[in-house]
Amino acid sequence: MELKNKKTVLIFADWYLPGYKAGGPIKSIYSIVSYLKDDFNFFIITSNTDLGELVPYENIVSDQFIKVDDSVSIFYASKGFLKRKNILHLIKSVNFDVLYLNSLFSFYFSLLPIFFHITASIKKPIVLAPRGMLGEGALKIKSKKKNIFISLFKLINIHKRVIWQATSEQEKKEINKVFGKNLNIAVVPNLQYSASSILHKPLFKTKGCVKLFFLSRISEKKNLLFALNILSNLKIDNTVVVFDIIGPIEDLLYWQKCKKIIDKMPNTIKVTYHSAIQNSEVPQFIYGYHFLFLPTFNENYGHAIVESLVNGKPIIISDQTPWRNLKENGSGWDISLDDEKGFSQAILNCIDMGQEEYNEMSKNSIDYAKKYCVSMASVELTKQLFINAC
């Protein structure tokens, strides 16, 4: 393939645009490509369906590279294409300088590329972004499958052959805990929102009424069941609590468990499911809510959390994300999943909150986002990650 005189990054990712149901991982790759395509060529290999979908994207040609612009080409692989020999052929067909993997526990988009990269003796570096998959809470979900992956990584010594991208010091500790010390780990935060995307439009808020939203995939990791249990056990009268669930159903059996609780909710709790929405629609959609309620088991970043903060929506989350000290900053609560009373009290505080206090929390959320989420330094760190790998 003809390339410009720039270094080339070959990316394997289970999902990419125009998909949106996988949430954060898609945004992470899109941000990398958007910010760095003037500095690198990108070849992206991904599936031709969105998360949980069987029908391919409309108006997209599968099983061949599509040139998006001078620096970006995308290969949308069909289910029938995903075979060992084809993955190997793809790796050999691109004259790349760095192999970038946007997942850890993916057979076709992580394990196979690494295995063929090693066995075919392609002397190019591998950058692996685990995307929060090594957090304690995340590892408890489908643990048998994940333990097999981890054992294979250790058996082939993969963990010492790759450059790990940790998006925080916490994730670096998680990688070390699972794979040991003396690893090549670069702490490179996710590329983040620009300051121009931040607006401050506090929603009308009265005491005795609160509108909460859950913005994420419906899966065990995101812990919707916990959130529903907290709400169902609230001791409230003469109040109205709205809880809207926004996101694709990734695990149907898990959703059925959630539905059983929803169907038994007291009259004071109004729960509605809205399915998934396009990323571009999120800011306008969530304007109609007061707080994000997302007691996730683990996030290495949490795009939904950042999306909420930059749009002035205070958050109620677990303490298993990088976003901490929220109460001290007046932008929400980060609570241990062992502290159910703490979550209940946070919701009660939200119910009792009036306009003036909510306005202050909304402003604090944006200030928190400006301080911790808006930094072009992450762009340079990502750029240096690829340059140093080469």
* pLDDT above 50 for 322: yes
Question: What is the full DSSP assignment across 318-385?
Answer: ESSSS---HHHHTSEEEE-TT-HHHHHHHHHHHHH--HHHHHHHHHHHHHHHHHHT--THHHHHHHHH
The mean pLDDT value for 113-134 works out to 84
Please give the mean pLDDT across all residues of the chain: 89
Tokens of 298: 């683990």
The mean pLDDT value for 165-187 works out to 92
The mean pLDDT value for 81-86 works out to 92
Cα(315)–Cα(131) distance, integer angstroms = 21
Tens of pLDDT, residue by residue over 55-76, are 999 989 999 999 999 999 999 9
Q: Which helix (H) or strand (E) holds 306?
A: helix 303-310
The whole-model pTM stands at 0.69
Could you tell me what percent of the chain has a pLDDT over 90?
A: 59
Cα(154)–Cα(156) distance, integer angstroms = 6
Q: Which of 166, 176, 157 is nearest to 115 (CA)?
A: 157
For residue 375, the model assigns a pLDDT of 60
**Is 68 or 2 the better-scoring residue by pLDDT?**
68
For residue 259, the model assigns a pLDDT of 97
| φ/ψ of residue 377, rounded to 5 | -60, -30
* pLDDT above 50 for 164: yes
Cα(20)–Cα(277) distance, integer angstroms = 8
Tens of pLDDT, residue by residue over 188-244, are 888 765 544 445 668 899 999 999 999 999 999 999 999 999 999 998 888 889 999
Tens of pLDDT, residue by residue over 35-44, are 899 899 999 9
Q: What is the DSSP letter of 195?
A: G
Going by pLDDT thresholds of 50, 70 and 90, the confidence category of residue 376 is low
For residue 1, the model assigns a pLDDT of 41
Strands (E), 220-341: 240-246, 269-273, 291-294, 315-318, 332-335
Tens of pLDDT, residue by residue over 253-304, are 999 999 999 999 999 999 999 988 887 788 888 989 999 999 999 888 888 9
For residue 372, the model assigns a pLDDT of 72
Going by pLDDT thresholds of 50, 70 and 90, the confidence category of residue 4 is very low
* pLDDT above 80 for 2: no
**Is 107 or 5 the better-scoring residue by pLDDT?**
107
Compute CA 196 distance to the chain's CA centroid, rounded to the nearest angstrom: 22
Strands (E), the chain: 7-12, 40-47, 65-69, 72-77, 98-101, 126-128, 163-166, 185-187, 209-215, 240-246, 269-273, 291-294, 315-318, 332-335
**Domains and their CATH numbers in the chain:** 7-191+376-389 (3.40.50.2000), 195-372 (3.40.50.2000)
Find out whether 129 and 165 touch, Cβ atoms under 8 Å. Answer: yes
Q: What is the DSSP letter of 111?
A: I
Cα(313)–Cα(336) distance, integer angstroms = 20
* pLDDT above 50 for 129: yes
